[in-house]
Chains A and B, each alone.
Chain A
Amino acid sequence: GQQLNQSPQSMFIQEGEDVSMNCTSSSIFNTWLWYKQEPGEGPVLLIALYKAGELTSNGRLTAQFGITRKDSFLNISASIPSDVGIYFCAGRAELYNNNDMRFGAGTRLTVKP
């Protein structure tokens, strides 16, 4: 299956700082999703991207579908303590195939007040 690399593995930042993380794939993807998982809970969908070049925001979060279709980025602006959690990217190569989704290993974000 497709390889999906997510970086960085972890980040320790100060409250108020901006955060950036990314995912790259070994092949072209048609869908990119970003999830957040808080301790003791399941991943929650943050942003879904379906078109190369697409830039979508959800509050302080902004995600982009890379032009090459092999990468995606998630930015968090002005981080706050409740941003703490693990952020996962997910992507798929086959449009309309729910089951083709692959997940990154996650970026663990720690925000110091």
Chain B
Amino acid sequence: GAGVSQTPSNKVTEKGKYVELRCDPISGHTALYWYRQSLGQGPEFLIYFQGTGAADDSGLPNDRFFAVRPEGSVSTLKIQRTERGDSAVYLCASRDRMNTGELFFGEGSRLTVL
């Protein structure tokens, strides 16, 4: 698999539940980004990692959202006490160098909170 892989592709949960979304970036890509895309909108930045550390988490909407990348490869976005407003497509992207360059996106994880 040469591309960015995201699982699950679809997740339906109930309000108040905990959710984890996984991203497997392109091998060797050191920078990893999480974006959220609501219906009819552009991707909105959440957080990005350079290696294992979060270089910028200014886009996380509140403390219910958290992300990790413990070994500098796979990343997990964690959402606690989900709310209906969290429903969106969560996109992961990676790039091969920290400075400006092409972002390679996965197909996203569609989260629906009932």
Q: Do A and B bind each other?
A: no
Residues of A near any B CB (own CB < 8 A): none
